[in-house]
């Protein structure tokens, strides 16, 4: 049986030195008490419980007595952060007997509050038990004053609500978002159709967001993306790598979008992006095998961009393609990578650290970006002749103003970012002349207004690290000048 492997699993204390893996299949589920006492076994229909609102100073051995009174425990695992080992305030619990789980849920769920917690303990089947994700909604842009009952009232007409939870910060204040789980996918879909964007709550910055909650995969991607954002800002390697780090985040975002709606493995693009993340995470140096090192500029292999200029860092984006390889050459499927240090997020998100991200994801129109990159990918064998011209400005309606560029982006990176949308005839990042630092804004000009509009559609609001690009038509020169 697949069990979480992070953290210590002290599931087998009763069994002495017995093996730690679950030898449960194929053996009769009518366990006798005697056998359970020596080799832990569980019913074939045992329920894995999610335990929430656990004080972080309690570990498995502290929790065990609390739950043992409802039956013999097959496995109890406190969830820990993959990287820091930090207690996440929740656990998974499986009893040998299904009946014990039901008893514990009835007796404990929301029935008592453990010391130091401001919300009652949660004891309920883990999301992994119910395939809950296709009927679980993320609701964003709520009024922070709205409580569970308010949200229930808003959603109850679409079906039967199994679960409704407002996400709250440590102080107990609402984060302005919630999870709502229906009993069926159709009910959830109906709620999305009617409620998403239907109204703006007082005090909310945008209209109500109603979307399916992230799957594990999406959450993993998001998590990596956030990590990349942190590294882009705090990791001195980012300086060495120039735009590499920041650009990888663009990839990341593209991957996230590309992976939405695909079952099974992540797309090659997502795999590629995840591989990039691994490079960053391990700080191994320059990108490895799948990427073809180039010798001079920042030009990605396969894209002919002869006059990409002025990449400040000596290493900068050399060897970084900026785009996935034409085929998924030797790319391991995502699952393979996950066994190599990066694991899917646990089946249930205890605190949902990224409600804002989810909310924004619902607000935005992500679709066009991967589409554009898809076209470019297919064009790899015969790359379009993209020859930037000398002129700085295109015709009216072709010139974009871009704000919130990553600090390390130069003209070249800016151009690469907008190449998928058309012929870029110039790209310019503004640099402070005293410090030589980017002012984080710049201009991109296309040779036609359609490309400019496509770029706005896809890239405005696009998240890179902690920032979101602002992409607008450049103000005409005579704006605000009536004469």
Partner DNA sequence: TGCCATT
Binding site for DNA (CB under 7 A): 392-394, 399, 401, 403-404, 426, 428, 430-433, 440-441, 443-445, 467-468, 470, 472, 474-475, 477
Q: For residue 111, with 0-12 CB atoms within 10 Å meaning exposed, 13-18 middle and 19 or more buried, which class applies?
A: exposed
Considering the complex, state which of residue 296 and residue 477 has its C-beta at the smaller distance from DNA.
Answer: 477
Q: How far is CA 290 from CA 275, 327, 342, in A?
A: 10, 10, 19
* Coil, strand or helix at 19: coil
Considering the complex, state which of residue 365 and residue 472 has its C-beta at the smaller distance from DNA.
Answer: 472
CB 140 within 8 A of CB 355: yes
Contact partners, residue 84, CB within 8 Å, separation at least 6: none
Least distance from C-beta 409 to DNA, angstroms? 12
Considering the complex, state which of residue 53 and residue 445 has its C-beta at the smaller distance from DNA.
Answer: 445
Q: Which of 61, 174, 42 is nearest to 100 (CA)?
A: 42
Tokens 């993306």 sit on residue: 225
Least distance from C-beta 312 to DNA, angstroms? 13
Least distance from C-beta 325 to DNA, angstroms? 31
Question: Strands (DSSP E) along 241-372, which ranges?
Answer: none
Least distance from C-beta 143 to DNA, angstroms? 21
Least distance from C-beta 432 to DNA, angstroms? 7
Considering the complex, state which of residue 215 and residue 448 has its C-beta at the smaller distance from DNA.
Answer: 448
Least distance from C-beta 345 to DNA, angstroms? 26
What would the DSSP string read from start to end of 151-186? HHHHHGGGS-EEEEEEEE-TTS-EEEEEEEEESSHH
Considering the complex, state which of residue 162 and residue 393 has its C-beta at the smaller distance from DNA.
Answer: 393
Q: Which of 393, 389, 326, 366 is nearest to 458 (CA)?
A: 366
Considering the complex, state which of residue 153 and residue 475 has its C-beta at the smaller distance from DNA.
Answer: 475
Least distance from C-beta 81 to DNA, angstroms? 27
DSSP state of 302: T
CB atoms within 10 A of CB 308: 25
Cα(176)–Cα(139) distance, integer angstroms: 8
Considering the complex, state which of residue 100 and residue 399 has its C-beta at the smaller distance from DNA.
Answer: 399
């Amino acid at each position: 049986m697949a069990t979480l492997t992070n953290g210590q699993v002290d599931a087998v204390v009763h069994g002495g030195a017995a093996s730690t893996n679950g030898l449960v299949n194929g053996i009769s589920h009518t366990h006798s008490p005697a056998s359970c006492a020596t080799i832990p076994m569980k019913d074939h229909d045992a329920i894995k419980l999610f335990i929430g609102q656990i004080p972080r100073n309690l570990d498995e051995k502290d929790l065990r007595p609390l739950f043992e009174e409802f039956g013999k425990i097959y496995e109890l695992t406190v969830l820990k952060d993959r990287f820091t080992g930090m207690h996440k305030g929740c656990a998974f619990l499986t009893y040998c007997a299904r009946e014990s789980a039901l008893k514990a849920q009835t007796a404990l769920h929301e029935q008592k509050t453990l010391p130091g917690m401001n919300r009652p303990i949660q004891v309920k089947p883990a999301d992994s038990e119910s395939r809950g994700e296709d009927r679980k909604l993320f609701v964003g842009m709520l009024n922070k004053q709205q409580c569970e009952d308010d949200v229930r009232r808003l959603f109850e007409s679409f079906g039967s609500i199994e679960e409704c939870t407002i996400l709250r910060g440590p102080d107990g204040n609402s984060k302005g978002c919630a999870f709502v789980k229906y009993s069926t996918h159709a009910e959830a879909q109906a709620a999305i159709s009617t409620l998403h964007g239907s109204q703006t709550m007082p005090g909310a910055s945008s209209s109500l967001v109603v979307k399916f909650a992230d799957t594990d995969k999406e959450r993993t991607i998001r998590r990596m993306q956030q990590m990349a954002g942190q590294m882009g800002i705090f990791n001195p390697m980012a300086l060495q790598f120039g735009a590499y780090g920041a650009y990888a985040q663009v990839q990341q975002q593209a991957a996230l979008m590309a992976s939405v709606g695909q079952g099974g493995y992540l797309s090659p693009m997502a795999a590629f992006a995840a591989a990039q993340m691994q490079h960053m995470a391990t700080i191994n140096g320059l990108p490895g095998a799948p990427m073809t090192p180039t010798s001079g500029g920042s030009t990605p292999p396969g894209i002919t961009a002869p006059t990409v200029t002025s990449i400040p860092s000596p290493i900068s984006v050399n060897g970084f393609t900026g785009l996935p390889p034409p085929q998924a050459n030797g790319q391991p499927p995502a699952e393979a990578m996950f066994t190599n240090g990066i694991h899917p997020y646990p089946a249930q998100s205890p605190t949902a650290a990224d409600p804002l991200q989810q909310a924004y994801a619902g607000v935005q129109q992500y679709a066009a970006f991967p589409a554009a990159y898809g076209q470019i990918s297919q064009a790899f064998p015969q790359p379009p002749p993209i020859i930037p011209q000398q002129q700085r400005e295109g015709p009216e309606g072709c010139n974009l103003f871009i704000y919130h560029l990553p600090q390390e982006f130069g003209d070249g990176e800016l151009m690469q970012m907008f190449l998928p949308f058309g012929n870029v005839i110039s790209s310019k990042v503004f640099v402070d002349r005293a410090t030589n630092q980017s002012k984080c804004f710049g201009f991109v000009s296309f040779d036609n207004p359609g490309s400019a509009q496509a770029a706005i559609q896809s890239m405005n609001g696009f998240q890179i690290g902690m920032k979101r690009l602002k992409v607008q038509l450049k103000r005409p020169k005579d704006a605000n000048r009536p004469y």
